[in-house]
A = this chain, B = another copy of it.
């Protein structure tokens, strides 16, 4: 299929514009260089080797993953300095230990004293240390110890004082930027998360603890505030692809979105003023979707079916590219509409 046009693909198909991915990645690298913070790109959106190469500028170092399946996949392919940024799952401690003993630098994350107990029960071999990030909730409201709770500081101290364990850093995900509309609101959340994280770092300093700090999310890192320069790292991920949601938030323009779902018209439903297309649950802005069918309606007026004969190709912009990509066992990569090859993501946990 290499060299062929996108219309040669069977549908539904996830297609990736590699030039846009490279541009999005280069802009983020440059932005972080200008800011003077280390970029640690998150792999969760694409889960492929090829895109990881682009996002790390070919270094294959300093990445974040959301599953241990990703961690193993990247470790197996020569990547290192991997942060498994997920509240330590107790059933996976042994697999985390194996990665810690095998890689130069494998890092875990936790937000509960019981998780620290799990690490103590499994000391690493050869005098190696568990590299631990403390997950802080700075208003996002998902995982993490709440920044304002006294136990946050107590847990950081406990990590720092535990033999065989190192407090590597403090990690906050500002996913609450996804509720924002416009750069001003994004930057207000970025500022708040940065302020709360830096205040927590000061508290740590006051008790004699120094470690790294990292915040992240694609909206905040697409429009960083100056004070983020005082952090050690940032960890955005979705920006390699972007999507409709990011353009609505204001993280990017629609032109920056690097992924599309190709679909074909498989039915005309004039009695309902709808087209039927051959893509189902894939996180798209359609009227509705079932397993293998999508219903498409015009925004207003009557559908002109002659413009969309059955079999014709439609190009859909994913609403949330992480969710859409997760439905596709393979991505078709192109440059200016000519197919270059396939990227195969890892799946599972």
User: A278 interface residue, CB < 8 Å from B?
Assistant: yes
Q: A188-227 toward B: CB 8 Å interface, digit per residue (1/0)? A: 0000000000000000000000000000000000000000
From the candidates B9, B269, B311, name the one contacting A90 in the complex (CB within 8 A). B311
From the candidates B87, B291, B322, name the one contacting A266 in the complex (CB within 8 A). B87
Q: Copy number in this complex?
A: 2
Hey, which chain B residues are within 8 Å of A293, CB to CB?
A: 142-143
Provide the bound-state CA to CA distance between A322 and B281, in Å: 11
Residues in B neighbouring A86, C-beta threshold 8 A: 266, 278, 292
Label chain A's interface by main secondary structure.
Answer: loop
Query: Is A153 among interface residues, defined by CB-CB distance under 8 A?
Result: no
Closest to A93 in B: B311
- Interface locus among A32-40, A157-165, A239-247, A326-334: A326-334
Which of A55-63, A98-106, A107-115 lies at the binding interface? A107-115
The interface residues of chain B lying within 8 Å CB-to-CB of A77 are: none
- The CA of A88 and the CA of B276, in the complex, are separated in Å by 12
**Which residues from chain B contact A112 at a C-beta distance below 8 Å?**
267-268, 310
Task: For the complex, give the distance between the alpha carbons of A12 and B95 in Å.
Answer: 15
By beta carbon, the residue of chain B nearest A327 is B326
Q: Let me know if A299 is at the binding interface, CB within 8 A.
A: no
Whether A341 is near chain B, meaning CB under 8 Å from some CB there, is: no
Pairs A-B, 10 closest by C-beta atoms: A90-B311, A87-B266, A329-B348, A329-B347, A114-B310, A10-B91, A66-B292, A112-B310, A87-B267, A143-B267
